[in-house]
Amino acid sequence: GNKNINAKLVLLGDVGAGKSSLVLRFVKGQFVEFQESTIGAAFFSQTLAVKDATVKFEIWDTAGQERYHSLAPMYYRGAAAAIIVYDITNQASFDRAKKWVQELHAQGNPNMVVALAGNKADLVDARKVEAEEAQIYAQDNGIFFMETSAKAATNVNDIFYEIAKRLPRV
Ligand code: GDP
Ligand code: MG
């Protein structure tokens, strides 16, 4: 039958990568050019129906600033899923994303479904990180990868949908 799943999900990644914008797109279907910086963390929830289940995501959108790093474990601990976000036009944000992947592997729940999102895919002319490089990195690290655009609404529902499909059915 159809299962109801509650899933805590955390967004991690550099300041400005587009974490809040992805959440705003997913939860409200909106985008703003001048998204305010997140302070501490913000909470949202959204329900998504997949074939065999209805998943209620309890979403923690973290700030990303280094000075909040020590708070991050409060958000990823016990999380069923994480989306690690970088900006395809910013190499440093990709390097930072890799650090998050390593941290989750070291400290996170081993069954966590982890997605890597190369965001701002609409800004192809300013691209600094090749999709192929990120795809190979994701594959090597047992996580899945998608390029997204919160602005163009590309792959935003899809990445949450893909996570929902991969969550353990208990
Ligand atoms: P956060 O710090 O990771 O939460 O990033 P924000 O969501 O605050 O976004 C930082 C900036 O990037 C804002 O000015 C957003 O409007 C912009 N932004 C976010 N996502 C996209 C996107 O997919 N495409 C473009 N072009 N800009 C984006
Ligand atoms: Mg934010």
SS (H, E, C) the chain: CCEEEEEEEEEEECCCCCHHHHHHHHHHCCCCCCCCCCCCEEEEEEEEEECCEEEEEEEEEECCCHHHHHHHHHHHCCCCEEEEEEECCCHHHHHHHHHHHHHHHHHCCCCCEEEEEEECCCCHHHCCCCHHHHHHHHHHCCCEEEECECCCCECHHHHHHHHHHHCCCC
Q: Distance between CA atoms of 133 and 151, rounded to whole angstroms?
A: 23
Whose CA is closest to atom 24 on ligand 1?
120
Q: What is the rounded distance in angstroms from the CA atom of residue 19 to the CA atom of residue 63?
A: 9
Complex-level ipTM beyond the 0.85 threshold: yes
Give the confidence band of 1 by pLDDT, cuts at 50, 70, 90.
Answer: low
List the residue whose alpha carbon is closest to atom 22 of ligand 1: 120
- Per-residue pLDDT at 59: 98
Residue 170 has pLDDT above 80, yes or no: no
- Which ligand is in closest contact with the Cα of 14? 1
Q: What confidence score (pLDDT) does residue 61 get?
A: 96
Closest CA to 148 of 139, 137, 161: 161
Question: How many Å apart are CA 6 and CA 58, to the nearest integer?
Answer: 7
| pLDDT band of 105, cuts 50, 70, 90 | very high
Of how many residues is the chain composed?
Answer: 170
User: Is residue 133 predicted with pLDDT exceeding 90?
Assistant: yes
How far does the chain reach from its first CA to its final CA, in angstroms?
12
Average pLDDT over residues 7-22: 97
Higher pLDDT, 117 or 170: 117
**Which atom of ligand 1 is found nearest the CA of 33?**
16
Contact 123, 148 (CB under 8 A): no
* Ligand 1, CB cutoff 6 Å, lining residues: 13, 15-21, 32-35, 37-38, 64, 119-120, 122-123, 149-151
Confidence category of residue 12, pLDDT binned at 50, 70, 90: very high
Q: Quick one: which atom of ligand 1 is closest to the CA of 38?
A: 4
Q: How confident is the model at residue 68 (pLDDT cuts 50, 70, 90)?
A: confident
Expressed in angstroms and rounded, the spacing between residue 121 Cα and the centre of ligand 2 is: 18
Q: Which atom from ligand 1 is nearest to the alpha carbon of 31?
A: 16
Predicted TM-score of the model (pTM): 0.97
Q: What is the pLDDT of residues 23-67, one digit of tens each?
A: 999 999 999 999 899 888 999 999 999 999 999 999 999 998 878
Task: Give the pLDDT of residue 108.
Answer: 86
d(CA 158, CA 170): 23
